[in-house]
Amino acid sequence: MRNVCPAMPRVIAAFGLVVGLAHAGHAGAQADWRAPRVVVWECAACHGIDGNAQLPTMPRLAAQKATYLQAQIAAFRAAPATASVEIPTWLLPSPEVPASARTGTNAKIYMIGPAHALADEDGKLASEWYARQTPLPGPVGDASQVARGRELYAKGLPGTGAIACQDCHGADGAGLASFPRLAGQHASYLVRQLEAFASGHRASGSPMHGIARDLPPDDAEAIAAYLQSL
């Protein structure tokens, strides 16, 4: 039986907080100690205290709709939790995965486990906190790629199922109705989400499945570059 230091979880959490604050510092953000405990101790290491994550692997959450964030937590939680490495996986029954679950590789690495451990009230507090934060502008990439992305975002890709992005996400990328904010989001993250929709690793039933499948990779990257620049 393994001996685990009782203080180790706190040490790991403290290290995560230091890393999160360091990334926030690179963006010129000040740590806001009014943040809910769950944000400080669990979310900030990846997403930053203010939601302006600097790591391109991690999505920016600042000003994202609270209802959308809560829906994503629910989608991660709908995916089966990773079995303990101490249990031979071939002895476990294959879990039925709901259509709403997010099951991609990054979801398994970063979010499914924490989502299962997250209390409902903490998820609500974190979502509402990030929704109130001020988003920072994203970096601007290649001018010609951004210009192509702006055109596709506004007009879509004629002759395909890829409609104009602004019809759902708004002309400014802030998101209409229940659709998420995309403005300022990391381009590489957006591209990965389009790939996840195309492959079915993000919830079925979304109009994004058909759109993502009809969008050529170069055009997906151009749209992502444009949104990052907002």
Q: How confident is the model over 25-70, as pLDDT tens digits?
A: 444 445 566 899 999 999 999 999 999 999 999 999 999 999 999 9
Q: In this structure, which topology does domain 143-229 adopt according to CATH?
A: Cytochrome Bc1 Complex; Chain D, domain 2 (1.10.760)
Whole-angstrom distance, CA of residue 29 vs CA of residue 47: 12
Superfamily of structural domain 8-131: Cytochrome c-like domain (1.10.760.10)
CA distances from 100 to 51, 82, 144, 195 (A): 25, 17, 37, 17
For the chain, what are the domain ranges? 8-131, 143-229
- What is the structure's pLDDT at 5? 47
Q: What is the mean pLDDT of the chain?
A: 85
pLDDT tens-place string over residues 167-190: 999 999 999 999 999 999 999 999
Whole-angstrom distance, CA of residue 22 vs CA of residue 46: 11
143-229: same fold as 8-131?
Answer: yes
133 vs 83, higher pLDDT: 133
Q: Could you tell me the two tokens for 210? A: 């058909």
Q: pLDDT confidence of 23, banded at 50, 70, 90?
A: very low
Average pLDDT of span 138-149 = 95
pLDDT over 70 at 222, yes or no: yes
Residues 173-187: b if buried by 16+ CB within 10 A, e if exposed:
bbbeeebbbbbbbbb
How many C-beta atoms surround the C-beta of residue 16 within 10 A? 17
DSSP 8-state secondary structure symbol assigned to residue 28: T
Whole-angstrom distance, CA of residue 178 vs CA of residue 206: 12
